[in-house]
Amino acid sequence: MKHPKPSLLVGLLFVFLPSLVVFILLDVTWIALVGGSIYKTVLGSFLRSTPQIVPGLLAWVCIVGSVYLFALPNTRTPAAAIRQLHSIVRHFNHGLLGNRTCNTRDLQNTSQCTNIPQLLPSNGQYRSPIYSDGSTHIAHQLLFEQGLLLGLCLYGTYEFTNLSILVPWTWALALVDTAWGSIACGVAAGLQSWIYRKLLTS
């Protein structure tokens, strides 16, 4: 059964907004328990005594919005399925599926790959792995990995630019903050994947 793609408004309200709230809660918890003390030690007088809320909210919106715009769509298009097939194959005996090895040429005939979740039904109509029952866990894992890499790029750009031009910035701060940002973006992507599938299958 083909499920309609959620509208832009539904996507923003039920996929983007919940993941934004979760991301903010995670980030605030991180700052309160771990990051805050690191920032105070390293940055000292460079820190505001009271953070400005609006710029902080805009930063969170930009980060989670990047995950929503650039990570989540990678499980919703046929072209993305081609890129992901090798990743899916790696989860099944390093590419050996049944009596044959499947590659991108098999997208139109995946029925012969008996151990792989069907990306294309027999009629050739694309079905996103995000709601293909056999590959749901793989889709979520791929989204987590893509969010992780996107977070690495986003936070890495910020941290290492600061390390390059700001005197108080340290390697320890840059590495720790980049690692945290990668994990947080991975969680946001995984959550968006889960909610998106629920919308498609409801």
Distances (CA, A) of 74 to 7, 64, 85, 96, 167: 17, 15, 12, 24, 38
Tell me the C-alpha distance between 13 and 5, whole Å: 14
Tell which residue, 43, 129, 18, has the closest CA to residue 83. 129
The average confidence (pLDDT) of the chain is 76
Does the pLDDT of residue 1 top 70, yes or no? no
64 contacts 23 by C-beta, under 8 angstroms: yes
Q: Which residue has the higher pLDDT, 145 or 96?
A: 145
pTM above the 0.75 mark?
A: no
Banded pLDDT at 202 (limits 50, 70, 90) = low
The alpha-helical segments, DSSP class H, found in 44-135 are 53-70, 78-90
Strand pairing partners for 101? 96
Q: Which residue has the higher pLDDT, 108 or 187?
A: 187
Banded pLDDT at 161 (limits 50, 70, 90) = very high
Per residue in 124-141, pLDDT tens? 443 444 444 445 566 677
pLDDT at 8: 79
Per residue in 40-88, pLDDT tens? 999 998 899 899 999 999 999 999 999 998 887 755 544 454 455 445 4
Per residue in 86-104, pLDDT tens? 454 444 444 444 444 444 4
